[in-house]
Structure 1
Amino acid sequence: MTALDLLDYGAVLVFALTGALVASRAQLDIVGFAFLAALTGVGGGTVRDVLLDRNPVFWIGNPDYILIACGAAIVIFFTAHLVESRFRWLLWLDALALAVAVPAGAGLALQMLQPGVIVVLMGVATGCFGGLMRDVVVGQVPLVLREGELYVTAALAGSLAAWFTARHTDDAMLILGSCALATFALRAGSLAFGWRLPVYRARPPRS
Structure 2
Amino acid sequence: MDVPELLDLAGIFVFAVSGGLTAVRQRLDMVGMVVLAEITALGGGIVRDLVIGAVPPTAFTSVGYVLVPVAAAVLVFFWHPQVSRILPTVLLFDAAGLGLFCATGTAKALDFGLSPLHAVLLGVITAVGGGMLRDVLSGLIPSVLYDRQLYALPALLGAALVAVADVTGWHGPGVTAGAALLAFVLRVSAMRYGWRTPRPRGVRD
TM-score category (smaller protein): 0.7 to 0.9
Contact 2:11 2:97 in 1 (8 A): yes
**Equivalent residue number for residue 95 of structure 1:** 95
Are 1:20 and 2:20 matched, yes or no? Answer: yes
TM score, norm. by length of structure 2: 0.87
The residue identity in structure 1 corresponding to 2:12 is: V
Structure 2 contact 9–64 (Cα < 8 Å) conserved: no
Which residue in the other structure is 1:131 paired with? 131
Instruction: Give the conservation status (yes or no) of the 8 Å contact 1:22–1:90.
Output: no
Cα gap change, 1:201 to 1:148, in 2 (>3 Å): farther
Contact 1:7 1:104 in 2 (8 A): no
Paired position in structure 2 for 1:38: 38
Deviation at 1:180, TM superposition (A): 0.5
Per-residue deviation, 1:191: 1.2
TM-score, normalising length from structure 1?
Answer: 0.86
Q: CA separation in 1, counterparts of 2:44 and 2:100?
A: 12
User: For residues 10 and 108 of structure 1, do their structure 2 counterparts lie closer, same or farther at Cα, with a shift above 3 Å needed?
Assistant: farther
Q: Conserved in 1, the CA contact under 8 Å of 2:102 and 2:159?
A: yes
Which of structures 1 and 2 has the bigger CA Rg? 1
**Structure 1 vs Structure 2: percent identity of aligned residues?**
33
AA in 2 matched with 1:35: V
Deviation, structure 1 residue 68: 1.1
Q: Distance in 2 between matches of 1:23 and 1:7?
A: 25
Deviation at 1:179, TM superposition (A): 1.4
Deviation at 1:88, TM superposition (A): 4.7
Closer/same/farther in 2, CA of residues 145 and 92 from structure 1, 3 Å limit: farther
Aligned position for 2:59:
59
Deviations 1:12-51 (A, max 9, x none): 2221111111112223222221111001111000110111
**Partner-residue secondary structure (3-state), 2:126:** helix
- Asked whether 1:191 is paired with 2:174, we answer no
User: What is the CA RMSD across the aligned residues, in angstroms?
Assistant: 2.3
Instruction: Quickly say closer, same or farther: Cα 1:137–1:112, change in 2 above 3 A.
Output: same
Single out whichever of 124-133 and 26-35 deviates more from structure 2. 26-35
Q: Following TM superposition, by how much is the alpha carbon of 1:121 offset from its aligned partner in structure 2, in angstroms?
A: 0.9
Native 8 Å contact 2:116 2:167 kept in 1? no
Partner of 1:80 in structure 2? 80
Q: For the Cα contact (< 8 Å) 1:33–1:73, is it kept in 2?
A: yes
